[in-house]
Amino acid sequence: MPADSSEHPTIGPDHQLLAPPPTSSRSRIVRVIVWIVLLLIFAAGFLLVLRHHDETTKSGGGGGRRGAAGGPVTLTTATATKGNIGVYLDAIGTVTPVYTASITSQVTGPVIAVHFIEGQIVSKGTPLIDIDPRPYQATLMQAQGVLERDQALLAQATMDRDRYREAWARNAIPKQTLDDQEKLVLQDAGTVKNDQGTVAYDQVQLGYCHITAPIAGRVGLRLVDPGNVVQASGTVTLAVITQLQPITVIFTLPEDNLGQVQPRLRERTRLPVDAYDRAAMKKVASGSLLTLDNQIDTTTGTVKARASFDNRDGALFPNEFVNTRLLVNTLQGATIIPSSAIQHNGAVSFVYVIEGDTAHQRNVTPGVTEGNNTEVTGINPGDVVADSSFDKLQDGAKIVVSKQPLPPSRRIGSNAP
């Protein structure tokens, strides 16, 4: 049966297009509202940040340099004075006793007594140690006996010589007999002298059995006990004594500074030396320079110097490390300001001089520093300089002088201009 031409052919499912889903007007409105809310939130946040920035700028919170545009700077001041300041050379030194005695035994024998107490202050001649003297007493007695016998023989030979002289004067004996007797007397005299030397040596040996302090000072720890046998070789130290009063400090000076020290020593000028503790904060003692060494150490380019201290309070201890300050000169009539008032910008040093209510930057040349003060050139005595708030200062800035000390956080500022 023929197909009807008016009917459309049937399309397979693989050739059919999907129909678009129906769009909901309600979901579209919700999406628009969400975007509007997000934009409002971002706008509000931006306005808050901008407002905070404006308030910070108006209140001077921008940091960095603040001068006349940011209002007057509150600071403290110091006045330059005219006075004397010392020229010092600083060095590290070692406390060194003038005398140190390491006592050893000169004889062999057992120790029978130790008379000192550890750490005792002794005088010269104070008994320290006794070694058994009996063998040396016996040897001395034997030498004394030999001496007495030979002295008697010498006396007999001398008596015979005198008789022979009288007999020869009467021509009773030949001259040869008298000459022989005279030579015999000389022989006996030599024997006696030898015996006297032996006795003296034995007396010295006996004296070594009783050891006394050769110098005044402080005895160290005990190194020997009663009953110990010591030898005459002297390899074992029995006691060590160090002199404490006076005491010296040896320190080194650069060879470049010899020109400052040597002329003063030739003039016999007393150069004060102060000894400070290891932290260089507390002064321990004061003394004076004694002398310099006779040669420069070529490995370090320094020369040793020795200073003497009375040390009456015992503050300096042997072999202690100290910091020394040698005063080599005193500058008269120098301009002095606090070291904290000096600022640095590379190799340039400057201060802020206060004139009225304005700070003016002025370059200075720092010199000698003593304690917290520094000698400068470039300003005059009586000039008022800023001593704080350097992080806010600049040339020409308006200032207000604070009558109260500022906190440390505000006193310490930048060293840059």
- Give the model confidence (pLDDT) of 57-115 as tens digits: 544 444 444 444 457 888 888 999 998 888 889 999 999 999 999 999 999 999 999 99
Residue 14 predicted with pLDDT over 60:
no
Task: Give the CA distances from residue 275 to residues 149, 266, 326, 330, in Å, rounded to whole numbers and listed in that order.
Answer: 65, 23, 9, 19
Residue 169 predicted with pLDDT over 50:
yes
Residue 294 predicted with pLDDT over 80:
yes
Q: What is the pLDDT of residue 235?
A: 81
Mean pLDDT rounded to a whole number for the chain: 85
Residue 413 predicted with pLDDT over 80:
no
Q: How confident is the model at residue 206 (pLDDT cuts 50, 70, 90)?
A: very high
Q: How confident is the model at residue 225 (pLDDT cuts 50, 70, 90)?
A: very high
Q: How confident is the model at residue 331 (pLDDT cuts 50, 70, 90)?
A: confident
Please answer whether residues 273 and 86 qualify as being in contact, where contact means their C-beta atoms are separated by less than 8 angstroms: no
With a CB cutoff of 8 Å and minimum separation 6, the contacts of 196 are 147
Compute the distance between CA of residue 385 and CA of residue 159 in angstroms, rounded to an integer.
105
Residue 408 predicted with pLDDT over 60:
no
Q: What is the pLDDT of residue 26?
A: 66
Nearest to 368 by CA among 399, 329, 341: 329
Chain mean position to CA 134: 51
Crossing angle for the helix pair 175-208 and 134-169, nearest 10 degrees? Answer: 160
Residue 222 predicted with pLDDT over 70:
yes
Nearest to 304 by CA among 340, 352, 253, 263: 253
Nearest to 323 by CA among 288, 289, 296, 283: 283
- Report residue 337 as tokens: 């300001």
With a CB cutoff of 8 Å and minimum separation 6, the contacts of 49 are none
Between 399 and 151, name the one with better pLDDT: 151
Q: What is the mean pLDDT of residues 368-387?
A: 89
- Report residue 207 as tokens: 């004296």
Compute the distance between CA of residue 232 and CA of residue 214 in angstroms, rounded to an integer.
18
Residue 295 predicted with pLDDT over 90:
yes
Q: How many residues does the chain have?
A: 417
Please answer whether residues 108 and 257 qualify as being in contact, where contact means their C-beta atoms are separated by less than 8 angstroms: no
Compute the distance between CA of residue 124 and CA of residue 229 in angstroms, rounded to an integer.
25
Q: What is the pLDDT of residue 356?
A: 86
105: helix, strand or coil: coil
Task: Give the CA distances from residue 318 to residues 218, 223, 233, in Å, rounded to whole numbers and listed in that order.
Answer: 10, 19, 28
Tokens 């971002």, located at residue:
42
Q: In what order do the strands lie in the sheet with 210-212?
A: 210-212, 127-131, 109-114, 229-230
Please answer whether residues 330 and 84 qualify as being in contact, where contact means their C-beta atoms are separated by less than 8 angstroms: yes
List strand residue ranges (DSSP E) for 98-140, in order.
100-104, 109-114, 121-122, 127-131
Domain boundaries, the chain: 68-86+332-411, 133-208
- Report residue 80 as tokens: 């330059």
How does strand 272-276 pair with strand 229-230? unpaired
Which CATH number is associated with domain 68-86+332-411?
A: 2.40.420.20
C-beta neighbour count of 62 within 10 angstroms = 13
293: helix, strand or coil: coil
Domain covering 133-208: architecture: Orthogonal Bundle (1.10)
Q: What is the pLDDT of residue 130?
A: 96
Percent of the chain with pLDDT over 70: 86
User: 40 φ, ψ to 5°?
Assistant: -65, -40
Residue 258 predicted with pLDDT over 50:
yes
Question: Which segment of 94-98, 260-264, 288-292 scores lowest on mean pLDDT?
Answer: 260-264
Residue 116 predicted with pLDDT over 50:
yes
Between 38 and 295, name the one with better pLDDT: 295
408: helix, strand or coil: helix
